[in-house]
Structure 1
Amino acid sequence: MNKKRWVKIGVGIVFILLIINIIGSLYFYDLAIKREKKDFLQGNKDLEVSAEAMNTFLKGDWREWVVNQNFEGMEIESFDGLKLQGYFLESIEPTNKTVIFAHGYLGRGRDMALYGQYYYEELGYNIFLADMRGHGESEGDYIGFGWHDRLDYLKWIDTIIEKKGMDVEIVLHGLSMGGATMAMISGEELPSNVKAIVADSPYSSVYDLFAYQLKRMYKLPEFPVLPTTSLVTNMKAGYSLKEASALEQVKKAEVPILYFHGSNDTFVPTPMANELYEQTNGETDIMFFEGANHGEAFAIDKEKYVEKLTGFLKKYIN
């Protein structure tokens, strides 16, 4: 077989591999980022919930509580023209304190009432819930994984300040993807009204999370699939997986950040929270919950959670 033929075979193999890679990248974009029903997480052992946490998530009194509250609907238009929906609940007694929540992947604003009830009933805060882009009643055909969402929340923050006045004190509290979103916001130029951030079970970056999940769920290396998926994401959704980095953002943070994470979290691995904590520029604190899986901390040890939360907030909220 002559040299020219070997070259043709080599080029052919490279071309076939390139096509496979492109097809795979389009598949993973649709799988994780495109707005559509997601079945791939069903049966995922990393998301198995303890009986105690499941009871809280499904049967907790917060579910009835949120249905019975008179939330005021709010709407903003995002930088790229999407209509986004939010829900505001005035405190029982007049206050200048407001908590703004960000929910997790495939969730919606009302999910954060699990935490909102405590802020509302025990701390006396106004609470604001939002459906993030690509979720709930908000528009969007892709999931932002916190990156474009950070810009949406900057607009929500301005909207809350406009609504409640210049003396309003704001806490940002997010869970999972919402926790990463709030960490990403920390690197932006925030108004002085934002006094503290709570990031529960956040990931360090979208690229690192996908690399971890690609290996864990599909036994695939990050190269060449993730760089190509990142290109596809940039073309379809307008952001790359590497730029969507909470880690790089917290290096610029000036607002105090409190991190929560479960010690048994294998969906968003616990070391990611440690890395964020260690790289955070401003004042910061962290608490791990022994035996807790992803996002379970509040559900399995509420007393410990709220004691840490309340102590942290008292340092920075008047």
Structure 2
Amino acid sequence: MKKRKKMIIWILVVLSVILVGGYFAIGNYFYDMAINAHTSKSFLTGNNDSKKQKTLSKKEKERKEQNEAFMAQVKPIASYVTSSDKLKLKLYAADYIQKSKTNKWAIVVHGYGGQSSDMASWTRHFYNKGYNVVTPDLRGHGKSQGDYIGMGWDDRKDMLLWINTITQRDPQAEIVLLGVSMGGATVMNTSGEKLPSNVKAIVEDCGYTSTGDVFTYQLKQLFGLPKFPVLYAANTMTEIRAGYNIFKSSAIKQVAKSKTPMLFIHGDKDTFVPFKMLEPLYNAAKVEKEKLVVHGAGHGESEKINPDLYWSHVWNFVGKYMS
């Protein structure tokens, strides 16, 4: 009898070790795939929107040439801040400063796996409209330090630093925040923080309701996998290795706390950050707000598909709050 009990205990111990080991192995795998800043993001190539973007890039040759000409003509100034957390990361931004003094500023924020130069078209439009433009590389991207992708959550604290650099330089600054995809989530997450009155308006383009929501959607969409236990295992490893909780990374909760006017933009053919996320985000905002649906646009394509519609809405919206 004692031997039998001992055998059962050992079997249970072995099974527990296997289960725990498997849990952490799953968590590590998906952490490295999605959160680790230094690993390949090849899973993105399976996204239908990525295929559309390749087709569009050929059709938008003129737009591309305009962006390249702008980037060649207007040379940015490198600026840096140090993250306020214990990591003390050196974070980079390219600043495009007007030759004549202006109090109009824009911070434009790139998406997942991108960098500041990806925002060339947005930078060009704001600059040509007379704005100074700050284009950060989010932590773990481009020239900024960092071993993990913050999904717009830890990045919200970094955004406060960039805002502060502007207000220190120009106390009368009037600032617009604009972000696309993960950049959209970043500016929405920032909106729920205590912001100076200098921040006049926020424009989010195809951002997600929360990191948990978008990962749950992508697990099913790309891999046919359930939220449990995969995302919970990934969250455990994210807390251990990156120090933040996927389930607390909630743009929709931050938007609900926002006191800054917001414009929400989304393409109705977005299959990467689903179009259905637009409505709950818009409804959560308790501030002056507008929304723009760009028909036929996939993920991050709204500004490419219909630039006239896009920019007329942006200028009409932000113009209400700028001097």
The aligned amino acid for 1:139 is Q
In structure 2, the gaps of 5 or more residues are: none
Asked whether the equivalents of residues 47 and 267 of structure 1 are also in contact (C-alpha less than 8 Å), the reply is no
For residues 155-174 of structure 1, give each alpha carbon's deviation from its aligned partner in whole angstroms, at most 9, with x where no partner exists: 010001112x2111000000
Q: Distance in 2 between matches of 1:15 and 1:187?
A: 42
The aligned amino acid for 2:305 is I
Q: Distance in 2 between matches of 1:206 and 1:60?
A: 34
Give the corresponding residue for 1:308.
Answer: 313
Asked whether the equivalents of residues 196 and 316 of structure 1 are also in contact (C-alpha less than 8 Å), the reply is yes
2:50 is equivalent to residue 47 of structure 1: yes
Give the corresponding residue for 2:303.
Answer: 298
For residues 205-235 of structure 1, give each alpha carbon's deviation from its aligned partner in whole angstroms, at most 9, with x where no partner exists: 1111111111111111101111121111011
2:309 is equivalent to residue 275 of structure 1: no
In structure 1, the gaps of 5 or more residues are: none
**Does the C-alpha gap of structure 1 residues 8 and 54 become closer, same or farther in structure 2, counting only changes over 3 Å?**
farther
The aligned amino acid for 1:290 is H
Asked whether the equivalents of residues 174 and 322 of structure 2 are also in contact (C-alpha less than 8 Å), the reply is yes
Q: Distance in 2 between matches of 1:147 and 1:115?
A: 22
Higher mean Cα deviation, 246-255 or 46-55?
46-55
After superposition, the CA RMSD in angstroms is 1.9
Asked whether the equivalents of residues 63 and 114 of structure 1 are also in contact (C-alpha less than 8 Å), the reply is no
Q: Distance in 2 between matches of 1:46 and 1:40?
A: 12
2:81 is equivalent to residue 81 of structure 1: no
Asked whether the equivalents of residues 179 and 186 of structure 2 are also in contact (C-alpha less than 8 Å), the reply is yes
Q: Aligned match of 1:110 in 86, 97, 117?
A: 117
Asked whether the equivalents of residues 82 and 139 of structure 1 are also in contact (C-alpha less than 8 Å), the reply is yes
Percent identical among aligned pairs is: 41
Equivalent positions of 1:67-216 (< 5 A) are: 67-79=72-84, 80-121=87-128, 123-163=129-169, 165-216=170-221
The aligned amino acid for 1:47 is S
Equivalent positions of 1:31-46 (< 5 A) are: 31-36=33-38, 37-46=40-49
The aligned amino acid for 1:201 is C
* TM-score, scaled relative to structure 2: 0.92
Paired positions, count: 315
Q: Distance in 1 between matches of 2:16 and 2:280?
A: 38
Q: Distance in 2 between matches of 1:63 and 1:137?
A: 20
Higher mean Cα deviation, 269-278 or 34-43?
34-43
SS in 2 for 1:316: coil
The aligned amino acid for 1:143 is I
Q: Distance in 2 between matches of 1:179 and 1:53?
A: 22
For residues 271-316 of structure 1, give each alpha carbon's deviation from its aligned partner in whole angstroms, at most 9, with x where no partner exists: 1121111111211111111111000000010000011111101111
**Does the C-alpha gap of structure 1 residues 54 and 272 become closer, same or farther in structure 2, counting only changes over 3 Å?**
farther
The aligned amino acid for 2:138 is M
Give the corresponding residue for 2:19.
Answer: 17
For residues 251-276 of structure 1, give each alpha carbon's deviation from its aligned partner in whole angstroms, at most 9, with x where no partner exists: 10000110110101010001112111
Give the corresponding residue for 2:260.
Answer: 255
Asked whether the equivalents of residues 53 and 296 of structure 1 are also in contact (C-alpha less than 8 Å), the reply is no
The aligned amino acid for 1:48 is K
The alpha carbon displacement at 1:56 in A equals 3.2
